[in-house]
Amino acid sequence: MLGRLVESGRETGLQAAAYFRGEPVVDACAGTVGPDGPPIGSDTLIHSFSTGKGFTATLVHVLAERGLVDYDAPIARYWPEFAARGKARVTVRHALTHTAGVPQLPAGITADELCEWDTMCAVVADLEPLWEPGSDSGYHGWTFGWLLGETVRRVTGMTPGQALRAYVAEPLGVADELFFGLPEDELGRTAPLVEGNWAAWLDSLPPSAPFVRLVAPNRGVWTTAELANRRSYLLADLPACGTTTARAAARMYAALLGDVDGVRLIGPERLDLATGVAVSGRDRILLRRFAKGLGYFLGLPETGGGLMAFGHHGSGGSVAFADRERGLTFALTRTRLVAGEEGATGQLVADAVRDCLR
């Protein structure tokens, strides 16, 4: 199926992976690394933008399981500078549910600044909430990463990328496949992204759209192939995004649902807490109705609907999720960034996997 999608010209490179009841059942790929490069393999790394928010949420839950993070603690307990400008009562739970009230970036922010951890933490610490924290939810597209990532850094003494490796990737045996920022020696096996119609779709949004006006206020920080193919961006520790293989992402979600080769990331009670409906309604930034758990979106189209499924999309059409009802986890990575009907590949492939398991 993936090969047909590439042959048709709809896709340039794909990976799909699935686990069913803790066992791998799909590990497929098609396409090439760049137009003249080698075939994409199961171990090819593909930057998948906000699919990585699911990695960040998972890391926070693992730390909470160990007693290092309290969802209802103010972020300022761990990161005192964050209390500035009325944010003293913003909690970790607010960050996970996009209710912290600080989704915005300064209008003149540059891609170079985006990649500087200390610079961006200072920017975020100085933000003033746009609404009363906890009163409403609006997608924190970029700031999600620093809100939670600096919390992780303060409680572990590690960068977010180091903590992801130590607490999630290494226990699962995917330390070379699940990343925020890439080690420099991994750049060579990372497939470049290709623009489909994604950048054009972003360009079509009116300047008044909250996503354009607040979350990505200039082209330099749009989640496009141009940004993702920058060396400095790929190397930067940015826990709002992630670079991965499909099989690593599917394995991570499987280890949230239950035991995978002797590893279970969190217990059943925390899973219930993390993936239950925490907020629901019209998102102030995305201007659509969503249900959200603690760091995950619930009932995404690719999941077949239903609030027993949780996960996260990435710009341009990547996705990873777990379906608790079916015992299924699924991930799709792709190199061609698309929007609209062209972006439905994740749902198409996930539907095919579900059909095979019936």
pTM across the whole model = 0.98
Q: Report the top-level CATH class of 2-357.
A: alpha beta
The residue extents of the domains of the chain are 2-357
Show the DSSP H helices in 107-194 as ranges.
Answer: 111-114, 117-125, 143-156, 160-164, 170-172
3-state secondary structure of 157: coil
Q: How close are the terminal C-alpha atoms of the chain, in Å?
A: 18
CB 284, CB 275: distance < 8 Å:
no
Regarding beta strands 45-47 and 190-191, do their DSSP bridges make them parallel or antiparallel, or are they unpaired?
parallel
| Residues annotated as catalytic (active site), given as ranges | 50
3-state secondary structure of 194: strand
> Which residues, other chains included, contact 251 with Cβ-Cβ below 8 Å and sequence gap of 6+?
17, 19, 24, 172, 173, 174, 260, 329
- Look up residue 75 and give its two tokens: 């972020």
pLDDT tens sequence for the chain (358 residues): 999 999 999 999 999 999 999 999 999 999 999 888 999 999 999 999 999 999 999 999 999 999 999 999 999 999 999 999 999 999 999 999 999 999 999 999 999 999 999 999 999 999 999 999 999 999 999 999 999 999 999 999 999 999 999 999 999 999 999 999 999 999 999 999 999 999 999 999 999 999 999 999 999 999 999 999 999 999 999 999 999 999 999 999 999 999 999 999 999 999 999 999 999 999 999 999 999 999 999 999 999 878 999 999 999 999 999 999 999 999 999 999 999 877 789 999 999 999 998 7
- Measured distance CA(119)–CA(311) in Å, rounded: 29
CB 298, CB 85: distance < 8 Å:
no
Length of the chain: 358
How many other CB atoms are found less than 10 A from the CB of residue 116? 14
3-state secondary structure of 166: helix
